[in-house]
């Protein structure tokens, strides 16, 4: 028997199924297989060639063992893979993927709009002291504007509180950042108010601040105009005189109702206008509280409630829907 021919026969043997695996084992590795016969011939080989012949037979046997083991393992796994307990023809299950909350989507859209015109993001803490939330914003202890906000105080001496507006972050920025300064301060704020369709004890704001030399009210109006156009597609805005302790002059910002095209609807209360926030030129007293030279610098500030913008943008009529975690509501976004 030519051992080289046997080696070639083993390598070319085709194993296509589990039955072929067993046939291969019997033909080459069985008790009457060809390798068993070859190993029995070692005694008839001349002494000087016996060692070489034995090594060659062992090499061929190892190859046969390896091929048999690999083939057996492959077909056993193939059989396990086909023995499943479910219908392979059934349609795949598509689970519900999560999505961004409408408040988060609105906040990101607002931030992205203001970033286009040079505003940087400045985020401050939600727990602040009286100075940053009231006093530095031109609201001393006896100022009547403090009565306009029902506050969550955290200490008995009323020193620390949950911020009632993100204007507290603007004071921190004026104290720590270099001028000129152009920032927005998005974040969560807190008011001790009764929850209703139009109010909540916690909500979100985006406030803006621009401090530089020679800033005018016209700059403020153009900034608000750009935001209204980009956010709502509304090109008409109006500024109504108002009062805020930290800006002078101050104004409420209205945009033309994009829902009814100023013809009158429940959203605009038949007026054709919808309020979106407040604004004004920063009161010099606020800048002086932050050790800023008011003979050189001035600026403007504005603030908008993110929930208010979201309600207008998505035409939602009840603020409480944002907090009820009703999947029927949230899946719409």
CA angle 141, 143, 146 (to 5 degrees): 85
The H or E element containing residue 62 is helix 47-82
pLDDT value for 103:
93
Closest alpha carbon to 315 in 109, 108, 102: 102
Give the model's pLDDT for residue 84.
Answer: 54
The two beta strands, 298-305 and 120-121, are: unpaired
85-135 tens-digit pLDDT? 667 777 877 777 778 899 999 999 999 999 999 999 999 999 999 999 999
This prediction has a pTM of 0.67
pLDDT in tens, 232-244: 887 788 999 999 9
CATH architecture group of domain 103-330: 2-Layer Sandwich (3.30)
Residues 247-276: tens digit of each pLDDT = 999 999 998 887 777 787 776 788 888 889
Please give the Cα distance from 308 to 104 (Å, whole number): 13
Is residue 81 very low, low, confident or very high in pLDDT (cuts 50, 70, 90)? low
Token pair listed for 103: 């408040």
63 burial type by CB count under 10 A (0-12 exposed, 13-18 middle, 19+ buried): middle
Domain boundaries, the chain: 3-82, 103-330
Strand ranges (E), 119-223: 120-121, 127-129, 160-162, 181-190, 202-212
* More reliable by pLDDT, 51 or 83: 51
Residue pLDDT, tens place only, 273-319: 888 999 999 999 999 999 999 999 999 999 999 998 998 888 887 88
Residues 6+ apart with CB under 8 A from 84: none
């Amino acid at each position: 028997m030519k051992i080289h021919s046997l080696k070639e026969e083993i390598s070319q043997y085709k194993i296509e199924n589990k039955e072929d695996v067993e046939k291969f084992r019997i033909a080459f590795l069985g008790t009457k297989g060809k390798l068993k016969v070859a190993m029995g011939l070692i005694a008839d080989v001349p002494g000087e060639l016996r060692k070489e012949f034995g090594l060659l037979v062992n090499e061929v046997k190892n190859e046969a063992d390896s091929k048999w083991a690999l083939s057996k393992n492959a077909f056993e796994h193939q059989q396990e893979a086909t023995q499943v307990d479910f219908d392979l023809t059934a349609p795949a299950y598509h689970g519900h993927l999560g999505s961004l909350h409408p408040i988060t989507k609105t906040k990101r859209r607002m931030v992205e709009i203001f970033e286009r015109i040079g505003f940087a993001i400045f985020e401050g803490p939600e727990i602040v002291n009286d100075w940053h939330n009231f006093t530095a914003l031109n609201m001393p202890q006896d100022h009547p504007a403090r009565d306009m906000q029902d506050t969550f105080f955290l200490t008995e001496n009323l020193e620390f509180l949950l911020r009632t507006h993100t204007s507290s972050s603007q004071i921190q920025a004026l104290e720590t950042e270099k001028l000129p300064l152009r920032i927005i301060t998005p974040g969560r704020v807190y008011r001790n108010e009764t929850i209703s369709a139009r109010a909540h004890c916690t909500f979100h704001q985006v406030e803006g601040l621009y401090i530089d030399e020679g800033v005018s009210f016209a700059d403020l109006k153009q900034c608000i105009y750009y935001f209204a156009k980009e956010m709502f597609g509304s090109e008409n805005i109006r500024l109504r005189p108002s009062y805020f302790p930290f800006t002078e002059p101050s104004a409420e910002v209205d945009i033309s109702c994009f829902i009814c095209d100023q013809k009158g609807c429940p959203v605009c209360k038949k007026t054709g206008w919808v309020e979106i926030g407040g604004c004004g030129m920063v009161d010099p007293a606020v800048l002086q509280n932050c050790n800023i030279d008011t003979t050189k610098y001035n600026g403007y500030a504005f603030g908008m409630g993110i929930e208010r913008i979201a309600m207008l943008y998505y035409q939602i009529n009840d603020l409480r829907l944002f907090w009820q975690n009703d999947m029927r509501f949230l899946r719409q976004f």
